[in-house]
Amino acid sequence: MKSSKNSSGGRLFDQKKSAPKTEKRTIKKGTNKSENKKDDFKPKRKIAISRKSSDSFSKESKPKFERTKSSDSYSKDSKPKFERAKSLKPIFKKEGGAPSKTSKPKIVKKVSETEFRLNKYISNAGVCSRREADTYIKSGNVTVNGKVITEMGYKVQLADVVKFDGVSLNPETKRYVLLNKPKGFITSMDDEKGRKIVTDLIRTACKERIYPVGRLDRNTTGVLLFTNDGEMAKKLTHPTSNVSKLYQVTLDKNLKLADFHKISNGFKMDDFDVTVDDISYIDGESKNEIGVKIHSGRNRIIRRIFEHFEYDVIKLDRVVFAGLTKKNLPRGIWRHLTEQEVINLKMI
Residues with catalytic roles:
217
Q: Residues, the chain, total?
A: 348
Percentage helix, strand, coil for the chain under 3-state DSSP, each rounded to 5: 20, 20, 60
- Rounded to an integer, what distance in angstroms lies between the CA atom of residue 188 and that of residue 198? 7
Cα-only R_g, the chain: 52
CB of 302 within 8 A of CB of 291? no
Pairing of strands 313-321, 220-227: parallel
Rounded CA separation 330/337 (Å): 15
Residue 237, class by beta-carbon neighbours within 10 Å (0-12 exposed, 13-18 middle, 19+ buried)? middle
The phi and psi torsions of 201 (rounded to 5 degrees) equal: -85, -20
Residue 300's closest CA among 321, 316, 314? Answer: 316
Q: Across the chain, which distance is largest between two alpha carbons, in Å?
A: 168
The Cα–Cα gap between 230 and 334 comes to: 20
H helical segments located in the chain: 33-40, 118-124, 130-139, 230-237, 257-265, 301-308, 339-346
